[in-house]
Chains A and B, each alone.
Chain A
Amino acid sequence: MAEYLINARGLQCPGPIVQLFNQSKQCAEGDVIKIEVTDPGFKRDVQAWCKKTGNELIDITEKDGVIIATIKKN
């Protein structure tokens, strides 16, 4: 199982979710992606994306304007 970090700070919609989408295509099942985002719309986007794709949103937190989401590829 590999873990990947995407630093999507400063990227505007749809940059962060596209980064996540493209990274997930290269991941194997069970791999974990951690993504750091400053676009406030990402919170809803990542939840919807995980629901649609069947990937698991393990954790999502926000601190000092940075949203950190951890996703497990299923």
Chain B
Amino acid sequence: MNKKHLIIFTGGIVGILGVLLVAAGNPANMGYCIACFLRDITGALGLHRTETVQYLRPEIMGLVLGAFIAALASGEFRAVGGSNTLTRFTLGFFGMLGMLVFLGCPLRVIFRLSAGDLNALVGLLGLIAGVFLGTQFLSRGYSLGRTIPQSQTNGYIFPLFMLVLLALLLAKPAFIFFSTKGPGSQRAALGLALAAGLVVGILAQRSRLCMIGGIRDFIFFRDTYLLSGFLAMLAAATLGNLVMGKFNPGFANQPIAHSETLWNFLSLTLAGLAFVLLGGCPLRQLISAAEGNGDSAITVLGIIAGAAFSHNFSLAASPAGVPMGGKVAVILGLLVVALIGTLHTAQTKNRGGALNGTLS
């Protein structure tokens, strides 16, 4: 299978699995949302106490373990890190604040759209705006610098962390929180969710599926490779929702969504900007962490910290709307992330373009 076919196949599989996972018990239009599932894991570990969103989502563990196995098998597992790690943590943190005001990651944008949620269209426009802003920094020289090789042990820690989470899910000790109501209580069967994660992890590692990268590459080079995966996902999920009778077009009364247009737009502008400066969407950060990239693992920890902060300080939106704190967080987030982009661009230039040299 050539690469183009592989990414279209991957997108199609993710789209179908997303619809199937909802049919099997996952929350509506949330077949495979990285932000929501990391938020649920954060809650299950007691890092926030919102009782409706606490569960150790096996899809995330499967995803990381699948990508880890694929990276080992293909020789692409490389323990690297050390590239502006704290900046990555901060960008992940603020990106998550944005996603929890929108109520979903770029993958959920697709799943919400595929079920007719037009609020997601507003979010998508915001996401594109954020990526566009980010490409302005990239074209002016923005870079988070080089990674350097690390101890192999460093690369194994993140996949091992996922194994520990899986063990906790199976053992269900008293200190792990499991929602009994709300989205966190809605779950596909463990085996199905884990298998879906493994399949997507393997395929996403091989194809490098990334929605932020897809929009970025299209803006930059008019390259449709990564974008084609998401178009395939949208087509497959829309078809699936039509078949399942779950396609309900409109703005009002969409599941786990709100209709505050400005904040749907700005929240994903923030997420788009943060993740394009990170080099890839939350899914891509998980895959990259599974491939041994310690910087991406720290980014995921930043996302988890963002989830905890967001719920502990009532910044996350709900179907009732966006709280004032969430609106302030989005504006502050846009300022902080834009400042990070500006300062890193200036500092790259100040280093005198040391990356390049003239041979003759």
A residues with a Cβ closer than 8 A to B are 2-15, 17-19, 21-23, 34, 38, 40-41, 44-45, 48-49, 52-53, 65
Contact = CB atoms under 8 A, between A and B. Distances in A.
Given A4-B356, A11-B147, A15-B279, 18 more contacts: A2-B359, A3-B358, A3-B360, A4-B359, A5-B356, A5-B357, A12-B144, A12-B288, A12-B295, A14-B213, A15-B143, A17-B220, A18-B139, A21-B220, A21-B221, A22-B139, A34-B359, A40-B76
Nearest to B78: A65
- How many chain B residues sit at the interface, stated as a range, is 20 to 34
Nearest to A40: B76
Contacts of A38: 78
Given A4-B358, A5-B359, A52-B223, A12 B208 contact: no
A8 B221 contact: no
B147 A53 contact: no
A2 B360 contact: yes
B54 interface: no
B146 A6 contact: no
A13 B357 contact: no
Interface in B279-324: 279-280, 288, 293, 295
Contacts of A22: 139, 141
A10 B221 contact: no
Contacts of A48: 221, 223, 225
B179 interface: no
A12 B355 contact: no
Contacts of B279: 12-15
22 contacts: A2-B359, A4-B359, A5-B358, A7-B356, A8-B355, A10-B145, A12-B147, A13-B208, A14-B138, A15-B143, A18-B143, A21-B220, A22-B141, A34-B359, A38-B78, A45-B223, A48-B225, A49-B221, A52-B221, A52-B223, A53-B221, A65-B78
Interface in B213-257: 213, 216-217, 220-223, 225
A22 B349 CA distance: 13
A19 B356 contact: yes
Contacts of B141: 22
Contacts of A3: 358-360
Of all A-B residue pairs in the complex, the 10 with the closest CB atoms, nearest first, are A10-B146, A3-B359, A3-B360, A5-B357, A10-B147, A5-B359, A6-B356, A48-B223, A18-B138, A40-B76
B282 to A, nearest CB: 15
A44 B225 contact: yes
A5 B355 CA distance: 9
A7 B357 contact: yes
Nearest to A3: B359
A14 B358 contact: no
Given A44-B3, A52-B223, A53-B221, A11 B143 contact: yes
B80 interface: yes
Contacts of A9: 146
Nearest to B284: A13
B83 interface: yes
A13 B143 CA distance: 10
B174 interface: no
Contacts of B170: none
Contacts of B295: 12
* Max count, chain A CB within 10 A of own CB: residue among B221, B222, B295: B221
